[in-house]
Structure 1
Amino acid sequence: MCPEMISETMLYSDINRVLLYMSQSMATLSSKSFILCPYFEKRHWILLVIFLAKSQVYIFDSMQKKRNLMIKNQLNLAFRTYKAQNGKSKGTKLNWIAAQCPQQPGSLECGYYVMRFMYDIFTKHRDSQDLTTDYSRTEPFSFEEINEVKEFWADYFLTNSDVNLAS
């Protein structure tokens, strides 16, 4: 899901648009194993990974602490809407799971950690049936691992951008 569409700021400014976006995204992406949702709240990036088939949301938080995520109620409501639109009333509650994941050493690395989580899930765990078990790493990412994802993103942007950076 687009981080701008599900951000804390959007939730405050146009909650109905966010709910519609989330339920439509679930319907559109229902055949996928996971829906990756980079989420920004209170100056911190977190990755939410929705596993529709099991009605689960994994929370990948590189500064793991007790959080009352603003998006939680809205995502639960969007999930119920998605299920109702598909004629299913059973299992309309999401199970929220705090994933064990690498913890950032400082206070500014959360965005890079979210990008690395997405990269690892997509490349190593895309067929997982249980990210709690399969994604068991807890030590911080190395400088090289963070640089790898930075370079991957920069290469992707430069190759797929419609912007002509030379002009």
Structure 2
Amino acid sequence: MATLPAAPLRWPSASCTAASHLPHLPLPSAIAAVLVRILSLPDKDFIQEQLNKRASYLSSRLIGTSTGQLVVVPCNIGFHWILTMINVEKEIVYLLDPLRHRIYDQDWKYVVNMALTLYNAEAGRKGKKQPTWEVVKAPRQPDAKQCGFYIMRYMKDIIENFGVGDKESLPSLFTNLKYTLVEINEVRSEWAECMLDYI
């Protein structure tokens, strides 16, 4: 089945731990650094404006999708990568999170829901009151540093296998809840080869 990738909001990295992005400081200095970040957070109006901009951008990527097509949307929600698959026609959103099997980031849920609302308005169709969200239990990362590679592996498996044989639903693609080191190293190698083209 053909898929239409949507541009990620940030570039993938292997890490999903906020602590790894802080310098190695003595405890009082580290606490002070965190407080500075908290106190310098933008106000609610600014945050809402940014969320609406993301929704508008995502909505523009949904235009022109074909019947039965899934839109692939990798997203960094703050030191952690997740994968969202959107069935625009049925307004079903599939969430794949390698760290937890539940909807965790409500801001991202708002962005996707608003994007579908904007798309429906542009397409002139009524649509659902609220999109349906389904959490897909895909393999979970064994630590806090491999979310980017797991998201790339999810996309590889979905693009290569979805709709093939009895793989007619996203959950049916992920019968095992673990990836082998060989499977993860495969996407690591592909990512490295891709990066070499830009060096």
CA distance in 1: counterparts of 2:114 and 2:178, whole angstroms = 34
State yes or no: 1:53 paired with 2:89: yes
State yes or no: 1:105 paired with 2:110: no
Structure 2 gaps, min length 5 = 1-5, 11-45
Deviates most, 84-93 or 48-57: 84-93
State yes or no: 1:2 paired with 2:38: no
Tell me how far 1:65 sits from its aligned partner: 4.6
CA distance in 2: counterparts of 1:96 and 1:33, whole angstroms = 17
Corresponding residue for residue 88 of structure 1:
125
CA distance in 2: counterparts of 1:73 and 1:148, whole angstroms = 34
Aligned equivalent of 1:26, options 38, 41, 62: 62
CA distance in 1: counterparts of 2:129 and 2:191, whole angstroms = 35
Matched-pair contact (CA < 8 Å) for 2:51–2:107: no
State yes or no: 1:79 paired with 2:122: no
Deviates most, 98-107 or 11-20: 11-20
Query: TM-score, normalised to structure 2's length?
Result: 0.68
Corresponding residue for residue 8 of structure 1:
none
**Alignment RMSD, CA only?**
2.4
SS at match of 2:85: strand
Pick the structure with greater CA Rg.
2
Matched-pair contact (CA < 8 Å) for 2:52–2:111: no
SS at match of 1:93: coil
SS at match of 2:106: coil
Corresponding residue for residue 180 of structure 2:
142
Percent of pairs with identical residues: 27
Structure 1 gaps, min length 5 = 6-10
Q: Tell me how many residue pairs correspond in the alignment.
A: 155
Tell me how far 1:92 sits from its aligned partner: 5.0
